[in-house]
Structure 1
Amino acid sequence: MKRLINRKNFLRINAITLGSVFVLILVGSIVRVMGAGMGCPDWPKCFGSYVPPITAEGLPANYQDIFREQRITKNERLARLFNSLGYEELSKKITEDPAVLVEQEFDVTKAWIEYVNRLVGVLIGFLVFLNMIFAFAFRSRSKWIPFMGVMIFVLTGFQGWVGSLVVSTNLLHGFITFHMLLALVIVAMLIWMNVRVRELSIYPDKNLFIVSLLTTLLFIPQLILGTEVRGVIDDLLISTIGRSEWSQSLSDSFYIHRSYSWLILIGAVAIFYYARKTEQVWVINLSMRLVFLVFLAMIAGIGMVRFDFPVWLQPLHLILAVGIFSYLFYLTLRLKFVK
C-alpha cells in the first residue's frame, strides 16, 4: 500500500482530478447553452429513476405537477433556512418567483445531457476521495496538505448539494453563480496541493508578484460579471427573441464585462513585461500562454456577439476563462514574495 501511495501517484491522481473538474465545468456549460439544466426535474434521481427514461410513456400523466410539488416542498425548507440567516429577500424569491415554479416537459435529449453532467460529477467525487487519501501520505511534510485534501472532499460534497438547489430553484441565477465560484475554489485548492507536494520553488520577485496578484484579484469580478451575462443569455434562450436580436437585449453587465476585459489584458501584458526581466524560462513561457489565453477569450466574446451566440462558442469562452484563472493563481502562488 505504501508503494502505491507515493508522490508520483498522488500527482497523477491530482492532475486527473483537476482535469476532470475542467471537464465538468465544460459539460455544465454545454448543459446550460443546450437549455438542459432542468432536463431532470429532481435530484439525485432523474424523473424518479437513477437512469433517465427513454420516453414519457412510463411517466404519470401529471408528472409535471408531481415534480413541481416536490420542488416546492424542498424550496420551502430552503427558504426557511435563508430566512433564519437573515436573507429575507432571497427567501422570498425562492418561494414566490413565478419562474422558479415553471416545470419543463420531458425531453429525452435534455434529460440525458443533464444525466451525463451528473455522472461526471460522481466520477469527480471518487477522484477527490482518492486525492484526499493520498494526501495523508504527506502529513509529515505539512499538515496543510491532508487538511486541504479533506476540505476539497467536503467542498465537493457541498457542491453537489448546491447543484441540487440549482435544480430545485429552476436554475436561479444566484445559485448558478455561487455554484461556478465554488468550482473555481476547488480548482485553486487542487493547484495549491500540486505545487506544495511537488515542492516547486517559490520564485521571489516582488514587482511580478504584485502585478500577478492584482490581475488575479481583478479577474474574480470579471468571472462574476461573466456569470451574470450568462444568466441573461439563459433567459433569452427560453424567450421568443431570436438569436440575431440577443445583442440588443443584453443588460449593462455585458457592457461592463466587455470593457473590463481590457484591464485583464493589460494585466496579462504587464505580467509578460516583468516576466521577461526575470530571465526565468518557465515564467516567460507561462506569461506568454496567459496573454494568449486572454486574447483568445476576448476573441471568443466578440465572436459570440458577432455571430449571434453560437452554441459551441459559449462553452469555449467559459473554459478559456477558467484556464486564465488557473494560470493566474498558479503563477501568483509560484511568485509569492518572500522578504
Structure 2
Amino acid sequence: MMKWLRRLVRLELVLIFLVILAGSVVRMTGSGMGCPDWPKCFGYMIPPTEEAQVLWAPEKQYHEGQMIVHEEAMWSANADFTSGAEYNAANWTKYTKHDYAIFNSTHTWVEYINRLLGAASGIPMFLLFVLSLKYLKSKPLYTLLATAGLFLLGFEAWLGKEVVDGNLIPGQITYHMLGAFLIVIVLVIFLKRLNQNPRQSLPLSRWYMFAALLLMLIQVVLGTQVREQVDMLTKQFGEGASREGWIDQIDVLIYIHRSASLAVTGFIIYLWWVLRKNGKSRRYLNAALMMVLASTASGAILFYFDLPKFLQPVHLLLSAGIVATLTWGWVRRPKTA
C-alpha cells in the first residue's frame, strides 16, 4: 500500500507541475478567457475549433446551454431547438457574468488543455485521499495531508471558476497561483513522510530551510503581482505589441521583487556552502542552488530585455522547483531507533 501511495504522490506532483506550466502558458499567450464559461467551454464539453461554431446561423440545431457570440455579447441557449430563418431573442439568455465576447481558437484550446490537466490532477489526488483512510488511526498525518491536498485542489477549481467569471480578476489570480504552490508543498511533505530513509544529522537547523522557503513564497507572490501588471499592459497595448519600455510602467514592486531575488539567492548559496563545508552535500540543495541561479538569470533577462514571453513559463516553473526542493530539505523524518 505504501508503494501505491508513493506512486500516486509522485504522479500528482508531476501533474501539478504541468498545471503550473500550463497556467503560465495561458497567461503568456493571453488565453485566460479562451473559454469564457466554466466548467464547459462555450457550452461544449469539447470546445469549438472554428468561429462558425459560436456564431448564430439559420436552420441550425442548438442545445441547451450552448453559447454563441452575437452583437458583441455572449448568449446561452435556453433549450434544445433548431433556429429559423431569423434570429429569435426568445431562444437565448444573455450571459452577464462578464462582458467578454471574443472567440480565438488558439486561446480556446490553450485554456482547454490547461483545464484538462487540472481535471486530470484530481484523479490521483482523490485516490490518495481514499487510500490514506486506511492509515487514519495508525498514521493520521497521511490522511491529514491527503485531505489538505484534496481540499486545496477543490479550492483551486472553485477559484479558477471565479477568475473566469470575473474576467481575470487580478487579486484572485495571485491566490490561484499561491494555491498551486501550497499543493506542491503538501505533496512534498507527504512524499518525505513516506520516505523510508532515516533522517541524517545536518549542521543546519531546519528553520534555516524554512526561512529560505518562506522567502521564496514571498517572492512568488511578489512575482505574481508584477505579472498581473504585465497582463494589464498586454490588455492595454495588445498581445503583439512591443514590450519595450514596459518595465518603466510597472510600479516599485518590480524593484522589490528584483532585490528580494538576490536575497533568496544569497541565502540558498549560504545554506549550500555550509553543508559543503561540513561535508554534508545534499542533492536537493544542489538542485535548489542550480534552479535559483537559473531563476535569477531568467529574471534578469526578463527585466533588462523587455520581458520576453517565452521566459515567463520557465521562470515560474523554476520557482515551483525551488519551493519543492526547499520543502524537501525543511521536512525531516524523525531519527530511527
Q: Could you list the per-position Cα deviations for residues 183-231 of structure 1 after superposition, in whole angstroms to 9, with x for gaps in the alignment?
A: 1111111111111122343345473423212211222211110000110
Question: 1 CA distance for matches of 2:164 and 2:292?
Answer: 32
Structure with greater Cα Rg:
2
Q: Could you list the per-position Cα deviations for residues 97-124 of structure 1 after superposition, in whole angstroms to 9, with x for gaps in the alignment?
A: xxxx441411011001101100001100
Q: 1:242 to 1:114 in 2, by over 3 A?
A: same
8 Å contact kept, 2:213–2:327: yes
Residue 51 of structure 1 corresponds to 46
Question: 2 CA distance for matches of 1:335 and 1:7?
Answer: 16
Verify: 1:158 aligned to 2:155, yes or no.
yes
Question: 2 CA distance for matches of 1:206 and 1:179?
Answer: 36
Q: Which runs of 4+ in 1 moved over 4 A?
A: none
Q: 1:148 to 1:209 in 2, by over 3 A?
A: closer
Q: Which amino acid aligns with 1:50?
A: M
Residue 311 of structure 2 corresponds to 313
8 Å contact kept, 2:13–2:187: yes
8 Å contact kept, 1:208–1:274: no
Question: 2 CA distance for matches of 1:278 and 1:335?
Answer: 21
Query: SS of the residue aligned with 1:151?
Result: helix
8 Å contact kept, 2:32–2:111: yes
Residue 177 of structure 2 corresponds to 180
Residue 297 of structure 2 corresponds to 299
After TM superposition, list the pairs within 5 Å mapping 1:72-91 onto structure 2: 72=97
Query: SS of the residue aligned with 1:106?
Result: coil
Q: 1:167 to 1:290 in 2, by over 3 A?
A: same
Q: Could you list the per-position Cα deviations for residues 63-99 of structure 1 after superposition, in whole angstroms to 9, with x for gaps in the alignment?
A: 7243795353xxxxxxxxxxxxxxxxxxxxxxxxxxx
Residue 130 of structure 1 corresponds to 127
Residue 245 of structure 2 corresponds to 245
Please say which of residues 328-337 and 243-252 is displaced more in the overlay.
Answer: 328-337
Specify which structure has the higher proportion of helix. 1
Q: Which of 65, 70, 76 is equivalent to 2:95?
A: 70
Question: 1 CA distance for matches of 2:296 and 2:167?
Answer: 30
Specify which structure has the higher proportion of strand. 2
Q: 1:102 to 1:251 in 2, by over 3 A?
A: farther
Query: SS of the residue aligned with 1:66?
Result: strand
Question: 2 CA distance for matches of 1:180 and 1:42?
Answer: 20
Q: Unpaired segments of 5 or more residues in structure 2? A: 57-69, 77-92
Residue 230 of structure 1 corresponds to 227
Residue 143 of structure 1 corresponds to 140
Instruction: After TM superposition, give the deviation of residue 314 of structure 1 in Å.
Output: 0.3
8 Å contact kept, 2:192–2:333: no
Residue 40 of structure 1 corresponds to 35
8 Å contact kept, 2:73–2:95: no
8 Å contact kept, 1:71–1:169: no
Q: Unpaired segments of 5 or more residues in structure 1? A: 1-5, 73-100
Residue 272 of structure 1 corresponds to 272
8 Å contact kept, 2:198–2:334: no
Please say which of residues 209-218 and 55-64 is displaced more in the overlay.
Answer: 55-64
Question: 2 CA distance for matches of 1:115 and 1:243?
Answer: 27
Q: TM-score, normalised by structure 2?
A: 0.83
Residue 209 of structure 2 corresponds to 212
Verify: 1:290 aligned to 2:285, yes or no.
no
Identity level (%): 30
Q: 1:256 to 1:335 in 2, by over 3 A?
A: farther
Supply the RMSD in Å over aligned alpha carbons. Answer: 2.3
Q: TM-score, normalised by structure 1?
A: 0.83
Verify: 1:325 aligned to 2:334, yes or no.
no
Residue 23 of structure 2 corresponds to 28
Q: Which of 3, 6, 10 is equivalent to 2:5?
A: 10
Residue 199 of structure 1 corresponds to 196
Please say which of residues 164-173 and 146-155 is displaced more in the overlay.
Answer: 146-155
Between the two proteins, the alignment pairs up a number of residues equal to 303
8 Å contact kept, 2:193–2:333: no
